[in-house]
Amino acid sequence: MRHRTEEEIATANAVDVSALPDPQTDDQRVIAGPSGELERQWLVVIGICTHLGCVPLSYKGEYDGYFCPCHGSVYDTSGRIRKGPAPLNLEVPPYAFLSDTRIKIG
Amino acid sequence: MSGESTYTPANGFSRWLDARLPVLRLVNDSFVDYPTPKNLNYWWTFGAILSLCLAVQIVTGIVLAMHYVPTTELAFASVEHIMRDVNYGWLIRYVHANGASMFFIAVYIHMFRGLYYGSYKAPREVLWILGVLIYLLMMATAFFGYVLPWGQMSFWGATVITNLFGAIPLVGESLRTWLWGGFSVGDPTLNRFFSLHYLFPFLIAGVVILHVWALHVTGQGNPAGVEIKDPKKDTVPFTPYATIKDGFGMALFLILFAYFVFYNPNGLGEPDNYIVANPLSTPAHIVPEWYLLPFYAILRAVPDKLGGVVLMFGAIAILFVLPWLDTSKVRSARFRPLYRQFFWIFVAVCLGLGYCGGQPTDKILIHVGEGGFDVTDLSRILTTYYFLHFLVLFPVLGLVEKTKPLPASIAESVLPHGKATS
């Protein structure tokens, strides 16, 4: 889980989605909260690299998102694969906002 | 095994046994009277050195298994118990751990010897294929063994290697779950790896017997690469000549072995493996043991999950068909001036891949402006060359190369000019 800054959300949205290995907009990777608005500041992803299952390091790599130390896959602030051997974006698990301060994952 | 048996039982008991189970005859014909080419050099002692390595690994391994506990709760602690509390446990474990590295040093020299002297060529194709099979079994055994101490490198090595199978289309994910015995590397995985780590050395021993059998059917190759014509002139009996030479080779090899065990026991290992496995944290720099680094570099060089896995296994699989890729009739690189140069380039490429496998992928080697030529770029060039060496150079060199004249016999190749005919 990552509490993203405005800047991180902005860089995630500024990407040309069609050029990504696994095209997804940032909005497709976040869900709406109790108010019905997309809770863009909360990114929830499973911390397992989609290449060979290592745990990527947070706030590392060229895009300041995630960097996998095993084989050098680089993910952006939306957890999308940008560089390296991993084929898919970091998986977003099923989750829901129970209130403004509580979240249920799974 | 090849040729007539020269064994004559010396006494009543051996005559009695020979009529019932001719095991002494087998030993005599394989390791005593066995005709050995008289021009063998020290590169030919690595077969015996490898047998020694296998024996050392099995003996130390059996003792370690008496004290080791294959559960995720106790594995790491039991290894520390071996190191601290078991009498000479530190010695046994260091011999076993460094023994694996020594085994690979010896097998790589043995394999490059085979490549240099064309040992895989007819009629020794099956001998070579059995050797590659042993090498594959060795890598599997080493991998299983590396997982057992349940350190950080153990855990993440196991995770990465088992995930390789997840790259296989359609069945990959189910296969991976089946290998794990769960949904991630855990207790069932450790338990089965321990079982397989105990089993595989005996499979290796079985294939070694076939390897030696095949060797004794075709006869040993030799540095001149010409077959034995007249056993009286071209060969010497295995005992004492080869036994003594092999023994001397083993003694030298054991000096290197002892250096690592007593003076640098963790020099070839990773410090991170002394941290207990943590499924929530991958070490910042994860690398396999040195002997797997070239293949690791090939895996990382390919920007595609399945492609990387295919090329990595392909790099080993290609060795199986080498006897049919090489079109040259001449075995020994001594008489192949072009191949001899490409052989050394190939050695350098393999070492280069090993270097790349140990470095971070984005490490820049030659700076150009903002970026530059990094480890990934070098890995890609070397990987391409590795495959070109087999798929292009081996078939083409045999057709275009002008080889030097071969000696008429082994005897002629070792005696001063003019002496052989007298």
Span B192-218, pLDDT tens digits:
999 999 999 999 999 999 999 999 999
User: Can you give B144-211 as a three-state secondary structure string?
Assistant: HHHHCCCEHHHHHHHHHHHHHHHHCCCCHHHHHHHHHCCCCCCHHHHHHHHHHHHHHHHHHHHHHHHH
Classify A2-105 by CATH class: mainly beta
d(CA B95, nearest CA chain A) in Å: 29
Residue B398 pLDDT greater than 50, yes or no:
yes
Residue from the list A54, A72, A87 with its beta carbon closest to the beta carbon of B159: A54
- Measured between CB atoms, does A86 come within 8 Å of chain B? yes
| Tens digit of each residue's pLDDT (9 = 90 or more) over B38-95 | 999 999 999 999 999 999 999 999 999 999 999 999 999 999 999 999 999 999 999 9
- In angstroms, the CA B242 to CA B332 distance is 21
Residue B419 pLDDT greater than 60, yes or no:
no
ipTM surpasses 0.85:
no
Pairing state of beta strands B364-368 and B371-374?
Answer: antiparallel
| Tens digit of each residue's pLDDT (9 = 90 or more) over B106-117 | 999 999 999 999
What are the boundaries of each domain within chain A?
2-105
Q: What is the pTM of this model?
A: 0.91
Q: Tell which of A58, A63, A71, A88 to mutate to test the B interface (max B CBs under 10 Å).
A: A71
Two structure tokens written together for A39 = 């809770």
